[in-house]
Amino acid sequence: MRAARTLVAVAACLLGSGCCNFARWFCGPDDSDWVSERFDTPGAAIATLKEAIRRADTVAITRCLSEDFKQQTGVRGVLETALVWQRLREEVPGIHLLGYAEVSERRPLGPGRCEYELEIAGRRMTVRLIRQPYWELAWIYDPDDPDDLEPRGEPLTDLGSVLDTRLDEDEGTTDVAIRLPPIDVPVELDRIQRAAVGFEWKVQRIDPVEPADDC
């Protein structure tokens, strides 16, 4: 009987904070897909874009966009992304639903380019991705707080500007040398948490697919 009274009390508290919490109390762990922000593969980039749109997170949406997309639309930061996103919602009806869309198989478009078709509620759109080089350096800002990371980095026009490889055919090995661009603050070696160069897949275009003419 005491257990029953305790359950009623807990339910009352949960109902006071919203029925969703009440449902979660009985439903157990959330078994929806876990989506981490990643751009290392085309599929991961599309999943990240959908998650950002689903949450209406303009900061995350900004990170999904390629430099080409930003230049074409005048995006320089989160504020511009919010304005562009509002314009896209007006010009491309249904684009805000992409977070719940079904995704087609990847269609290659040539080296470093591909596209997907997303469909929801009878609307179809293509999302074109481009492979974009970048460099990044992150270090611990406060030695007493390892969670306090200071990141720097930016897209590159050419990975060869920071990366040099030399093949030793006699030894059958490859020497790789990375030289990142200078940063404007001194950083001690033991504080560096991550130093990287590579490629990320970012959104180059989002276009509606016009319905086929039956005539």
Q: Is the pLDDT of residue 98 over 60?
A: yes
Helix (H) or strand (E) holding 24: helix 19-27
Encoding tokens for residue 193? Answer: 């948490």
Asked if 207 and 169 touch (Cβ cutoff 8 Å), the reply is no
Instruction: Output the pLDDT for position 38.
Output: 95
Helix (H) or strand (E) holding 14: helix 2-16
Instruction: Output the pLDDT for position 89.
Output: 77
108: Cβ–Cβ under 8 A, 6 or more apart, which residues? Answer: 114
Which residue ranges make up each domain of the chain? 42-130+204-208, 133-181+188-201
CA distance 201 to 127: 12
Comparing 21 with 169, the larger pLDDT belongs to 169
CA distance 18 to 36: 27
Would the CA dihedral through 79, 103, 106, 196 be positive or negative?
Answer: positive
Give the pLDDT band (50/70/90) at residue 88: confident
**Lowest mean per-residue pLDDT among 107-116, 152-161, 206-215:** 206-215
Encoding tokens for residue 86? Answer: 């509002």
CA distance 156 to 169: 29
pTM comes to 0.76
pLDDT tens-digit series, residues 174-205: 999 999 999 999 999 999 999 999 999 999 99
pLDDT tens-digit series, residues 113-161: 999 999 988 888 899 999 999 999 999 999 899 999 999 999 999 999 9
Side chain identity, residue 110: G
Q: Is the pLDDT of residue 75 over 90?
A: no
Q: What are the phi and psi torsion angles at 171 (to 5°)?
A: -85, -15
SS3 20: helix
Which 3-state string (H, E, C) describes 56-107? CCHHHHHHHECHHHHHHHCCCCHHHHHHHHHHHHHHCCCHHHHHHCEECCCE
Asked if 26 and 14 touch (Cβ cutoff 8 Å), the reply is no
CA distance 129 to 88: 17
Strand 123-142, strand 192-208: pairing? antiparallel
Instruction: Output the pLDDT for position 28.
Output: 54
Comparing 106 with 82, the larger pLDDT belongs to 106
Instruction: Output the pLDDT for position 90.
Output: 79
